[in-house]
Chains A and B, each alone.
Chain A
Amino acid sequence: MQTRPLASLGRYTGPATLILSSLADGAKHGYALAKDIEQFAGVHLVPGTLYAALTRLVDQGLIEPVASDDERRRPYRITPAGAEALREQLSEQRRVANLGLRRLAGGTSS
């Protein structure tokens, strides 16, 4: 069994999953990321947490900064490794979610 890259981020696993999910449809800068995540997940990421998660994702090579003319708005994009890590993480979450839903419905667990 391998530990998923996102799971190794500890308390930043949740924010990192949201960030990667947001970046999955294109590059975004910090402010746009926070707004997008708030819109699709209803989660408000405060800047300290948002950038801590961004830092760790960059360190792991799961996202990368995109060259920009505007120094105050640096966009980030997901890397192939990041896309794979997100796919693994979401699949695992779906597996757990399905299992929980089946158990709630009184079905058998697998």
Chain B
Amino acid sequence: MKGSADRRAARLALLYPRRWRREYPDFVGVLAAELDEHPWRSRTDVIRAAIIERARAAGIIPTGPDDRARSGLALIYATLLPFTALVAGIWSQLRTGIGTHGRDTPPVVRAADLLLAFGTVAVFVSLAVVVPLVAAHSRGRSPDSGPKAGLSARGLLRPALILVGSIATLTAAGWAADRSGWYSPAAAALPKGGLGYPIALWARGAIAAITPAWVHPTMFGHMPTGELLASLVAPFAALAGALALLRLVGRLPLRKPGRTDIALALTIAGMMLISVAASVRWVLAHPTREGTSQLLARTDQLAPGHTGWGVAFLLLVLAGIAMIGTRRVLQGRRQPTEPGSGTSLDPDVGWVPESDGSGTGGLLALVLVEP
């Protein structure tokens, strides 16, 4: 019986980051003793605590009051990546009029323009964030004051390799889908040759990952082999790539936020909200052939309404997480620190002690890979 509890405890302990397990080697023994007495309470408590610990390890939950602003920046940048990918997907659908017949109607044009503006801003913001960080890192000088100080190249290697693998897999999936002859309205406008072709194939693979066939599985039965393979492989490749990106962001040696960082954070958060509004407006107002709303579009069309709603909801969740990150940056910036204490706070700030952020970063941490 005890051996069984030990094994269960060891399995549960795997939910924690490896580094944490090394620092608290006696945890498994304590948990094993507890599992017999309070099996369910112990399990749920450990799962919750492990999720929070992973988010802390990823740098998106502060390790203390002083780390609040830095972790807020990490949360925003981590959110920006999947948000931009989703926006690109919606934008390509708007531009090609997927499943609808009102491409030139005002709501579509406005939504497409707003999303394009977001994409442009996202690219510039990413450059403004990444270039100084890479430059500082390549000079061997970490600007970080947070838990990722002393970052090693080895720590970046694994997520970087996963990211490259994800890109290669999605490109191959796009190639297979393209050759299969399956018509993808979202990919119809992509270039068919030249320098843009590899990018088009990657986009084709990424688009295969969000096929409405997951909502209407009978579509899988009509797909040729190439498209079917792409549809089945692409979601996992895209997810692995997104998680690797998150890990890379979590390991970036972020500096303590300055005015520029706050401006960037506010820009990202604002653009995200505008993008969500544009997407929702499109979903609500975009007319279909029958004159009904996108919400009521027929299921044999390639963009049924609930797919649009699902994407809009994901965008809203991501934007919400970015808002929390922005709030954390702003509060962290206003929070004066007394030398040596690390916990001295100005009473005017209205500081509410960070519980643990399990409601926000915890969502992301659920799927973070082993550090």
**Interface presence of B261 (CB below 8 A):** no
Min CB distance A43 to B, Å, is: 14
* Known contacts A3-B343, A3-B344, A48-B46; A10 and B53 CB within 8 A of each other: no
B25-A74 in contact (CB<8A): yes
**Interface presence of B334 (CB below 8 A):** no
Given the complex, which residues of B lie within 8 Å of A5, measured CB to CB? 341, 343
The one of B24, B38, B45, B345 that contacts A74, using a Cβ cutoff of 8 Å: B24
Given the complex, which residues of B lie within 8 Å of A67, measured CB to CB? none
Min CB distance B5 to A, Å, is: 12
Interface 1/0 per residue, B321-362 and A, CB below 8 Å: 000000000000000001001111101000101111000000
Distance of A2 Cα from B354 Cα, bound (Å): 16
B38-A55 in contact (CB<8A): no
Given the complex, which residues of B lie within 8 Å of A50, measured CB to CB? 30
**Interface presence of B41 (CB below 8 A):** yes
Distance of A72 Cα from B24 Cα, bound (Å): 9
Distance of A96 Cα from B52 Cα, bound (Å): 31
Residue on A with the closest CB to B348?
A1
Min CB distance B30 to A, Å, is: 4
Given the complex, which residues of A lie within 8 Å of B214, measured CB to CB? none
The one of B25, B29, B45, B354 that contacts A31, using a Cβ cutoff of 8 Å: B29
Distance of A109 Cα from B47 Cα, bound (Å): 44
Min CB distance A72 to B, Å, is: 5
**Interface presence of A94 (CB below 8 A):** no
Tell me which residues from 21 to 79 in chain A have a Cβ below 8 Å from any Cβ of chain B: 29-31, 34, 44, 46-52, 54-55, 58-60, 65, 71-74
* Known contacts A30-B27, A48-B50, A74-B25; A2 and B64 CB within 8 A of each other: no
Given the complex, which residues of A lie within 8 Å of B179, measured CB to CB? none
Given the complex, which residues of B lie within 8 Å of A4, measured CB to CB? 343
A60-B64 in contact (CB<8A): yes
Residue on A with the closest CB to B56?
A55
B353-A46 in contact (CB<8A): no
**Interface presence of B33 (CB below 8 A):** yes
Distance of A12 Cα from B20 Cα, bound (Å): 18
**Interface presence of A7 (CB below 8 A):** yes
Distance of A65 Cα from B26 Cα, bound (Å): 12
**Interface presence of A108 (CB below 8 A):** no
B338-A52 in contact (CB<8A): no
Count chain A CB atoms within 10 A of each CB in B45, B47, B63 and give the residue with the most.
B45
B52-A52 in contact (CB<8A): yes
Q: Is the interface of B mostly helix, strand, loop or mixed?
A: helix
Interface 1/0 per residue, A8-21 and B, CB below 8 Å: 11111100000000
The one of A12, A46, A54, A71 that contacts B25, using a Cβ cutoff of 8 Å: A71
Distance of A71 Cα from B23 Cα, bound (Å): 10
Min CB distance B49 to A, Å, is: 3
Min CB distance B69 to A, Å, is: 15
**Interface presence of B65 (CB below 8 A):** yes
* Known contacts A10-B354, A46-B41; A2 and B27 CB within 8 A of each other: no
Distance of A58 Cα from B34 Cα, bound (Å): 23
A47-B356 in contact (CB<8A): no
Distance of A60 Cα from B64 Cα, bound (Å): 8
**Interface presence of B225 (CB below 8 A):** no
Given the complex, which residues of A lie within 8 Å of B49, measured CB to CB? 48-49, 51-52
Distance of A7 Cα from B24 Cα, bound (Å): 24
Distance of A45 Cα from B341 Cα, bound (Å): 28
Given the complex, which residues of B lie within 8 Å of A65, measured CB to CB? 23
Given the complex, which residues of A lie within 8 Å of B41, measured CB to CB? 46
* Known contacts A8-B64, A72-B29; A51 and B24 CB within 8 A of each other: yes
Min CB distance A100 to B, Å, is: 22
A8-B26 in contact (CB<8A): no
Count chain B CB atoms within 10 A of each CB in A47, A52, A55, A60 and give the residue with the most.
A47
Distance of A50 Cα from B49 Cα, bound (Å): 10
A30-B30 in contact (CB<8A): yes
Would you give 11 A-B contacts (Cβ < 8 Å), ordered by A? A1-B347, A8-B65, A10-B356, A13-B353, A30-B29, A34-B30, A46-B46, A48-B48, A51-B27, A59-B63, A65-B23
Which A residues fall within an 8 A CB radius of B? 1-5, 7-13, 29-31, 34, 44, 46-52, 54-55, 58-60, 65, 71-74
8 closest residue pairs by CB, A with B: A48-B49, A48-B45, A10-B355, A48-B46, A10-B353, A46-B45, A30-B30, A47-B31
